Amino acid sequence: MSRLAPLSEEPSSEDNSNNRSKKGQSSWRNWLKSHFHPFYNKKSDLKILLSVLGCPLFPLSLHTKESPIQVESSAQYIIQHYTAATACRKLEGRVKSIYAIGKVKLVMVEELASSSSTSTTTTTKPHEGCFVLWQMIPDKWLFELVVTEHKVIAGSDGNVAWRHTPWLGAHIAKGGTRPLRRSLQGLDPVTVAAVFSTADFMGEKRMWDEDCFALKLSLDNTALADRSDSTADIIKHVVIGYFSQRSGLLIHLEDSHLTRIQSPGTHPIYWETIMGSRIEDYRAVDGTMIAHSGQSTVTLTRFGNNVKAGPQITRMEETWTIDDIVFNVPGLSVDCFIPPEEVRKEYSDEDLDWKSALHR
């Protein structure tokens, strides 16, 4: 069996489904050609939305080696305020699993900027759908999103993260297992506290009419290299969480990364992706504050030597609501998080014993 192409967290083209074994180079060339030359293919806008907004992963693993934290540090004080505001310490040791169901609305807003500072904007009709998330603390999860006729699935068995789409099949995520970004949008405060416990304090900023403390996380060179390949080189990836000074809650999550794309014999193209998520409507669930709605906006900016018309900018937007969330789901077991057959076979290719990993 040919090895699966590593999962890229950028939009993907349907053309790739017939040529998966060519890995990143064909994937990026096909996607760039079919969606941004010079305008995206409007027939594929839903697939781009689902590829980018459907189930992105958080860039950092929960198993990242932690550096010592001083009790008096600003970041530690902010996280202590956050854990008190959400009362999420009540979940530790008591909650073993989580189930959540909700709705989403996705829309594409395409902006083509030119060197003359003019731009063209086109907004597509919204696409509505629903999702369900199962999670077993701390690092096993399964997410299903259905929008129109498309279904996207992503999961983690605690050893590897993967995603499945109708047009690409199953793909392993480069960079190791990581939390689902959607969980950190106020849905899993325990994980939010864990990943930001080693963040750097960046000062104060006003967001959504709230004075906030900003905590910053940056991927180191090793993590960046793990997520790069011969065609796509991730230059940086930064995450900033904005915590309200008044309530202590996380009200905005922003991450941005810069990727350099170059195939042999071509000029490099750079992609800057910025995703910002407003997090709101916190409600008590078994005594813990959980965010029940929010909005995300993604801006993709393409630039480089061969982009003659100037930077090309595409904006995507998502709104979501949580209809229900339940802790300690009856009958949920590790068997519910077994990856698809294609992923299990790649485990075998890499001499990984996935069965023993699942049941450790």
- Give the lowest-confidence range in 223-227, 239-243, 250-254: 223-227
Question: What whole-number distance in Å separates Cα of residue 134 and Cα of residue 332?
Answer: 8
Q: How far apart are CA 156 and CA 307, in angstroms?
A: 37
Least confident of 2-6, 94-98, 170-174, 261-265: 2-6
Q: Which residues contact 220 (CB under 8 A, 6 or more apart)?
A: none
Rounded mean pLDDT, 306-324: 85
Is residue 59 within 8 A of residue 219, CB to CB? The reply is yes
Asked whether residue 3 carries a pLDDT value surpassing 60, the answer given is no
Q: Calculate mean pLDDT across residues 345-356.
A: 56
Does the pLDDT at position 347 exceed 70? no
Angle at 189 between CA 139 and CA 323, to 5 degrees: 95
Q: Is the pLDDT of residue 84 over 70?
A: yes
- Give strand pairing partners of 122: 110
Q: How many residues does the chain have?
A: 360
DSSP 92-134: TTT--EEEEEEEEEEEEEEEEE-TTS-EEEEEPPPEEEEEEEE
DSSP assignment, residue 40?
A: -
Backbone Cα Rg of the chain: 20
pLDDT reported for residue 192: 95
Does pLDDT of 41 surpass 70? no
Summarised one tens digit per residue, pLDDT across range 188-201 is: 999 999 999 889 99
- Average per-residue pLDDT for the chain: 82
Domain chopping of the chain, boundaries: 14-351
- What average pLDDT score do residues 303-330 get? 86
Residue 107, pLDDT score: 94
Beta bridge partners of 141: 135, 156
Which residues make Cβ contacts (< 8 Å) with residue 87, sequence separation at least 6?
287, 288, 289
Top pLDDT among 63 and 160 is at: 160
Confidence of residue 28 (pLDDT cuts 50, 70, 90): very low
pLDDT tier at 30 (50, 70, 90 boundaries)?
Answer: very low
Question: Can you give the pLDDT at residue 97?
Answer: 94
Supply the pLDDT for residue 82. 97
Q: What pTM was estimated for this model as a whole?
A: 0.83
The per-residue DSSP string of 180-222 comes to BGGGGTTT-HHHHHHHHTTPEEEEEEEETTEEEEEEEEE--HH
Percent of the chain with pLDDT over 70: 76
Answer whether residue 81 shows pLDDT above 60: yes
Q: Choose between 346 and 83: higher pLDDT.
A: 83
Over residues 99-143, the pLDDT tens digits come to 999 999 999 987 655 455 556 666 778 999 999 999 998 899 999
Angstrom distance (rounded) from CA 39 to CA 27 = 18
pLDDT average, residue stretch 302-307: 74
Cβ atoms of 125 and 35 closer than 8 Å: no
For 199-234, how does the pLDDT look when each residue is reduced to its tens digit (9 = 90+)? 999 999 999 999 999 999 999 998 898 888 878 899
> Which residues are within 8 A (CB) of 233 and not within 5 positions of it... i.e. 6 or more apart?
259, 260, 261, 262
144-164: b or e for each residue (b if 16 or more CB lie within 10 Å)?
bbebeebebbbbbbbbbbbbb
Is the separation of the CB atoms in 251 and 280 below 8 Å? yes
Helices and strands (DSSP H and E) totals, the chain: 7, 14
Q: What is the pLDDT of residue 17?
A: 40
pLDDT at 354 over 70: no
Residue 71's contacts (CB-CB under 8 Å, 6 or more residues apart) are none
What pLDDT is attached to residue 104? 97
Q: How far apart are CA 300 and CA 145, in angstroms?
A: 22
Q: 58 exposed, middle or buried (CB, 10 Å; 0-12, 13-18, 19+)?
A: buried
Residue with more model confidence, 251 or 168:
251
